[in-house]
Amino acid sequence: MLALNKRPAAAAGRRPRIGLLGGSFNPAHAGHLHISRLALDRLGLDEVWWLVSPQNPLKPVEGMAPLADRLAGARALIGGAGHRNMSATDIEQDLGTPYTADTLAALKRRFPNARFVWIMGADNLIEIARWNNWTAIFKTVPVAVFARPAYSFKALTSMAAKRFAGRRIYEQDAALLIDQALPAWVFMHIPLSSASATKIRDGSGD
């Protein structure tokens, strides 16, 4: 588990900028690495933390690998890729926060010196209106949404996109997202990765 007294790294003279990528990571795959690399580069982040969920309330327990296995797989993938500015943690289990809105609030209390950005794929923007207290997510941290195959149009016409349409910043200003008054979000059109946990579990992914 990520040490609770871990001091995030940052460039000299400023607060650390941390991207948070949540999910079941069942299993972690190349798509997670892809989006994390792009987030580090385009959002000007110091680190990306993968928040491996104990159990997503919206996903069935059946077919979900044990948390320890999913965490180990995520760490092995990061380690194998040699990314020292990425880490995987089961801190949500320690915090006892099954809902993202609560996790973000708790992380801001636990790491008051850090500046967080929530990272997610376009498919999650479509579904986020089903999440518990979802509007609080946008009001707690900036949100960066990354395009995924076949999801972009639906994402940009979703309830969440419409709700916060006036708070979306231009993609070319993504590096400034973390400095914006909340709520603030950006949609990133990126080289797409076809990797998905479902395909990998089915034996059809890369």
- pLDDT one-digit tens code per residue, 73-117: 999 999 998 988 999 999 999 999 999 999 999 999 999 999 999
pLDDT at 192: 66
Q: Tell me, what CATH number does 121's domain have? A: 3.40.50.620
Counting beta carbons within 10 angstroms of the beta carbon of residue 113, is it exposed (0 to 12), middle (13 to 18) or buried (19 or more)? exposed
- Asked whether residue 10 is domain-assigned, the answer is no
Split into its structural domains, the chain has a count of: 1
CA angle 93, 65, 200 (to 5 degrees): 125
Q: Which of the four pLDDT bands, split at 50, 70 and 90, describes residue 193?
A: low
Question: Rounded to 5 degrees, what are φ and ψ at 166?
Answer: -75, -5
- Asked whether residue 92 is domain-assigned, the answer is yes
- Asked whether residue 11 is domain-assigned, the answer is no
State pLDDT tens for residues 146-173: 999 889 999 999 999 999 999 999 999 9
DSSP class of residue 166 equals G
- Asked whether residue 169 is domain-assigned, the answer is yes
pLDDT at 191: 77
Question: Rounded to 5 degrees, what are φ and ψ at 93?
Answer: -65, -40
**Strand 47-52 to strand 17-23: parallel, antiparallel, or no bridges (unpaired)?**
parallel
- Asked whether residue 177 is domain-assigned, the answer is yes
- Asked whether residue 97 is domain-assigned, the answer is yes
Residue 142 makes CB contacts below 8 A (sequence gap 6+) with: 117, 118, 177, 178, 180, 182, 183, 184, 185, 186
pLDDT at 8: 65
**Strand ranges (E), 12-114:** 17-23, 47-52, 86-89
- Asked whether residue 101 is domain-assigned, the answer is yes
Reduced to 3 states (helix: H, G, I; strand: E, B; else coil), residue 187 is strand
Q: What is the mean pLDDT of residues 105-130?
A: 97
Q: How far is it, in rounded angstroms, from Cα 154 to Cα 74?
A: 29
Q: Are 46 and 10 in contact (CB under 8 A)?
A: yes
pLDDT at 135: 98
Q: Which of the four pLDDT bands, split at 50, 70 and 90, describes residue 6?
A: low
Reading the block at residue 89, the tokens are 């943690």
pLDDT at 14: 79
- Asked whether residue 167 is domain-assigned, the answer is yes
Indicate if the pLDDT at residue 203 is higher than 50: no
State pLDDT tens for residues 30-85: 999 999 999 999 999 999 999 999 998 888 888 899 999 999 999 999 999 898 89
State the residue range of the domain holding 97.
Answer: 17-202
Q: Are 183 and 52 in contact (CB under 8 A)?
A: no
